[in-house]
A and B are shown apart, each in its own frame.
Chain A
């Protein structure tokens, strides 16, 4: 079988192109809302056009542009594989940043900017890989689709969801590479890469607290604002139950068998428990960061993020609304969850479900998963790959009949916490070696997988 993987020269050229694309994309302000992703699709379409690649841009609403392009196999033996991503980014609190969040400046080998991790890096790297695949003119056995969606950060109803509903023929893939995985977990001194093979669902709850209104000059009891305080305290004190899903079980088993010894025994012991609780995980050799991630994918969560109350300084508001971002482990319905939170809060608020996305699980046993494993271990020989459940919500949830794997790896290098808390936070940035590495991985994966007949 011919080896179509990149050599160092090709990898270097793909990497430099990826860095260039990333800087260009970061400089386009696609903060959503309003998104205005057309700026990004214009850029990508121009890059593709220069290579003689046609792209299709479809807009769900003016400026909410989605781009899809395709390298066709002459005599396809399998259904397409897709490199997918989104071009919108979340808002920034500009004054909290040390560098321009839309500057794309490289300082000490880190490129700064909103989207450098979530996920213009992958959009740029996949674009560089896609163009390189075109230039390489490989004997494709299946089409390769490149997709950049709008509106992932708000909901996807104007992006992936809309494209799936109105232009499904554009994205008729069997497999897709997406964001959401590629992170590394340190456990017992060993490093594991995780590949998202499922994700939690996102349900948004709106809680309305009502109380007596009045003039703020005279305090009164039982106000909506007082109920808000009580509710936040109850949420904080509450301990949601632990749920282990198949991807998490597979993750822990993979880690256990790699570590062996006492660690494996401990993992087996915990997995064998009939009703494990979080304290049972206390002895697993995890860093704080990985522990909080493991917590997130084994628990339904309810995180308050939005609150609105009051119109005038001197009026005690009659109602306060609290938005709670809930992430549900697959298996629990949003309505069940609504009732549970209503129980936690007691009688003090009315809990309403405003968004109901159930979680999804994709089968990790597939040739594409195997190709991901093979490509990774070619590049990082001692790497181990473990499936996992992704704590966040991505566009994967829109595509029930595509096996979407969240995997875009970085180098096995400790960046001293430079990435921690920066996704959706302040000072988001990426080491340019990680930009290069991701792009090379995407190229090698698709070059191998799309040319194979198996």
Chain B
């Protein structure tokens, strides 16, 4: 009988291999743009090749490579399960780092490098698990797919979206584990760990304020800047209506069940009305950040993030364009969302859809979610699994036929506050114990689930 749940020896070997793989991946500069994920795909392919595992590398554009590999079940009884990730990383400001962001150096048990958390750490863990399952020769009842996409950070057009549209057969999984969840959440002294079962859509809008152009020496009444001010004030004053989608309802019900007492009453009160009421939720025993996060998950949101208006100091421009990051709930119609934002800004600006997107939701009642819960109960029995919906931004919505669960679990530790500013920030790093914990977790989850 082969080892399915990792014993101490396998745990040690998974740990060592994940660290080595992560260091190797961090040394590859896959900042996007331009991405150049081909160097990561080629590197992974060489690792697989040493073990006699074949793979497919597909490119949406030159150098924008996605790598997919598969361990086949001899007589599959179910559809595949996939460990997915992306190899591109966001850019760095090297001067702000204490360490070379592409060194993979280990300092005080932290592996440093861009992508350590987002998400070469998980790619390395997935790869270590994939190799271990291959070596163990487990009696698979479904195929296990390893996939590392290109172009997640810039929207997936050259990555997950393209692969789904052009090579769907490579990633025809029923379930997938992805980035996005796994963070420990302490609520009123109770330990939860989030599993991301849904996410909002990143629905990019363009706000254009128009006005009379002219020379800046003569003030004009109806300028683009005047309208910009009005539009920004209206956007910031807007309180979008509260909407509670199914995954958020499941999350709130999990919290209510575990916490009981006043929290249960507040959640019941919020859910009792139609439309639901925000006021009771605002009284939950949450930190300000957690409340804001819950607020964002119970409505569509709009945040203006980029403006490059005007061309010269002495010219009143005829228009100013603002890029607006919109986040839509699962099920939201992007055009209806656009129209709602247009109604908010009124005649001060026009609102266009640049990237229409809606959210995505996987089922909370599924054998894979149950498997995650069971694995967690065995490895960290004190933690309660809580379904969560992220506010968007992973590849999950781009592969709509796959039920994607975001889960890269961290054990509760005093390191969590350290990690908070690191994703997309400076000095990104992961502690080797955390990498090892998640690697073991993913191993046990996939080894169990794919053999059951």
**Interface residue stretch chosen among B55-63, B367-375, B390-398:** B390-398
- From A93, A295, A315, A325, give the contact of B216 (CB < 8 A): A325
1/0 contact string of B176-215 vs chain A (CB within 8 Å): 0000000000000000000000001010100000001111
Q: Shortest Cβ distance from A291 into chain B, in angstroms?
A: 11
| Stretch from A375-383, A404-412, A421-429 that touches the partner | A421-429
- How many residues from A make CB contacts under 8 Å with B? 58
Contact A313 B305 (CB under 8 A): yes
A383 to B157, CA, bound (A): 67
Q: Which residues of A contact B317 (CB under 8 A)?
A: 305
B-side contacts of A365, CB under 8 Å: none
- The yes or no answer to A440 lying at the interface (CB within 8 A) is no
Question: Which of B200, B230, B305 neighbours the largest number of chain A CB atoms within 10 Å of its CB?
Answer: B305
Q: Which one of A154, A218, A421 lies within 8 Å of B214 (CB-CB)?
A: A421
User: Which residues of B sit under 8 angstroms from A236, Cβ to Cβ?
Assistant: 226, 229
Closest A residue by C-beta to B325: A216
B354 CB, nearest partner CB in chain A, Å? 9
B303 close to A219 (CB less than 8 A): yes
With contacts A91-B312, A305-B312 taken as known, whether A229 is within 8 angstroms of B214 at the C-beta atoms is no
Contacting residues, chain A, for B216 (C-beta < 8 A): 303, 305, 325, 327
In Å, the complex CA distance between A202 and B220 comes to 17
Most chain B CB within a 10 A radius of its CB, from A90, A225, A307, A314: A314
By beta carbon, the residue of chain A nearest B293 is A218
With known contacts A233-B230, A323-B310, A323-B313, A304–B225 Cβ distance under 8 A = yes
Count chain B residues whose beta carbon lies closer than 8 angstroms to a beta carbon of A: 55
Among A232, A315, A316: residue with most chain B CB under 10 A:
A232
Q: How many Å lie between the Cα of A325 and that of B230 in the bound state?
A: 20
A229-B232 in contact (CB<8A): yes
Distance from A71 Cβ to chain B, minimum over Cβ atoms (Å): 33
Give the tally of cross-chain contacts (CB within 8 A): 183
Is B213 in contact with A424, judged by CB distance below 8 angstroms? yes
* A217-B391 contact in complex given A309-B307, A315-B424, C-beta closer than 8 Å: yes
Q: Which residue of A lies closest to B202 (CB)?
A: A314
Q: Is the CB of B314 within 8 A of A313?
A: no
Decide if A230 touches B233 in the complex (CB within 8 Å): yes
Interface: A320 (CB within 8 A)? yes
> Once the chains are docked, how many angstroms separate the CA of A303 from the CA of B211?
13
Q: Which of A315-336 contact B (CB under 8 A)?
A: 315-317, 320, 323, 325, 327
Contacts of B236 in A (CB 8 A): 225-226, 229
Provide the bound-state CA to CA distance between A101 and B280, in Å. Answer: 61
| Majority secondary structure of chain B interface residues (helix, strand, loop or mixed) | mixed
Q: Which of A305, A310, A425 has the most CB of B within 10 A?
A: A305
User: Which residue of the partner chain A has the closest CB to B155?
Assistant: A313
Kindly state whether residue A243 has any CB partner on chain B within 8 Å: no
Assess whether B306 is in contact with A393, with CB atoms less than 8 Å apart.
Answer: no
* In contact, B390 and A217 (Cβ under 8 angstroms): yes
Give CA–CA (A423, B215) in the complex, Å. 7
A168 shortest CB reach to chain B, Å: 26
- A56 interface contact, C-beta 8 A: no
In this assembly, does A125 line the interface, its C-beta being within 8 Å of a C-beta of chain B? no
Q: Is B217 a contact partner of A392 (Cβ separation < 8 A)?
A: yes
Whether A308 and B308, one on each chain, are in contact in the complex, defined by CB atoms closer than 8 angstroms, is: yes
B310 touches A306 (CB 8 A): yes
Q: With the chains together, A308 CA to B306 CA distance in Å?
A: 8
On chain A, the residues within 8 Å of B309 by CB distance are 306-308
Among A304, A315, A323, residue most surrounded by chain B Cβ atoms (within 10 Å): A304
In the complex, the answer to whether B218 meets A293 with C-beta atoms within 8 Å is yes
**Across the interface, which residues of B come within 8 angstroms of A293, CB to CB?**
218
Query: Contact between B391 and A218 (Cβ–Cβ < 8 Å)?
Result: yes
Q: Does B316 contact A (CB under 8 A)?
A: yes
Residues A320 and B307 in contact, CB atoms below 8 Å apart: yes
Q: Are A310 and B323 in contact, CB atoms less than 8 angstroms apart?
A: yes
The contact string, 1 if C-beta is below 8 Å from chain B, for chain A 200-236, is: 1010100000000001111110010110111111011
Q: Which residues of B pack against A, CB within 8 Å?
A: 90, 200, 202, 204, 212-220, 223, 225-226, 228-233, 235-236, 292-293, 295-296, 301-318, 320, 323, 325, 327, 390-393, 424
Q: Which 8 residue pairs of A and B lie closest in terms of their CB atoms, listed nearest first?
A: A232-B229, A229-B232, A217-B391, A310-B306, A216-B325, A325-B216, A306-B310, A392-B217
Provide 14 A-B residue pairs closer than 8 Å at the C-beta atoms, listed in order of the A residue: A90-B314, A153-B314, A200-B217, A215-B391, A217-B393, A218-B296, A229-B233, A232-B225, A303-B316, A306-B309, A310-B306, A312-B90, A393-B217, A393-B314
